[in-house]
Amino acid sequence: MKNWLKFLGVLLVLYSIAGGLLLQVPRLPILHETIRNLYFHVTMWFAMMAVFIASMYGSIRFLGSSDMKHDILAVESARVGMIFGILGLLTGMVWANYTWGAPWVNDAKLNGAAGTMLVYAAYFLLRNSVDDEQKKARISAVYNIFALVMMFVFIMVLPRMVDSLHPGNGGNPGFGTYDLDKVMRLVFYPAVVGWIIIAGWIINIRIRMQKVKELVFG
């Protein structure tokens, strides 16, 4: 990854943290100041989805070439995606505790997020159950494609088909419809880009670490 891109990612994240804590936000019933969590909770999910897509891309490339470097991209992207997914869950639980009265409620999107984490946890269990490297990479690559489809079903499709407390789901208006004003947009979109770049940087570091392990241990 180019140094200027790393610098940009760090700059955007620092800007979004400062702007997210200091700039004015809409004064809305129930949400109040907790709406600032939009800059952190939602952006974690965007980063998670981006790296899970990158993971699927690596799996598809491996199935077409049998080149293990694509499998490394797939598995390291999935690991980073899990980190951002867990961060998204934790920030969401904090927000839910203040706005809905409990860190976890029976909500379609919350349950779907948990389901997504379980689907990807199964991906790693599957990998650990196979010893042959090529066979492991091929089986997990096929499963990885299925996992991404399930992620979108769990967090994008099903919540829109049933009642949900989340904005933009179950008949609720989305944030952009009524309260993501021009000031919030100036923080939210740079935060999304910044966290995606940081996620890509972490993946790049992990891939390089795996290459070093291969050179040292064979």
Q: Backbone phi, then psi, for 164, in 5-degree steps?
A: -150, 145
pLDDT tens column, 184-203 = 899 999 999 999 999 999 99
Size of the chain, expressed as the number of residues it contains: 218
Structure tokens at 114: 């948990």
**What's the N-to-C CA distance of the chain in angstroms?**
25
Report whether pLDDT(175) > 70: no
Structure tokens at 215: 């050179």
Give the whole-angstrom CA distance, residue 49 versus residue 118.
15
pLDDT tens column, 70-85 = 999 999 999 999 999 9
Longest dimension (CA), the chain: 59
Give the whole-angstrom CA distance, residue 122 versus residue 8.
34
Helix crossing, 43-65 with 68-99: angle to 10°? 160
Nearest residue to 18 (alpha-carbon basis) of 194, 200, 149, 163: 194
Confidence of residue 169 (pLDDT cuts 50, 70, 90): low
Nearest residue to 51 (alpha-carbon basis) of 95, 88, 90: 88
C-alpha neighbours within 13 Å on the C-beta side of residue 59: 27
pLDDT tens column, 12-57 = 999 999 999 998 888 777 777 888 889 999 999 999 999 999 999 9
pTM of the model: 0.89
DSSP-H helix ranges across the chain: 3-22, 43-65, 68-99, 108-128, 133-152, 158-161, 175-178, 182-217
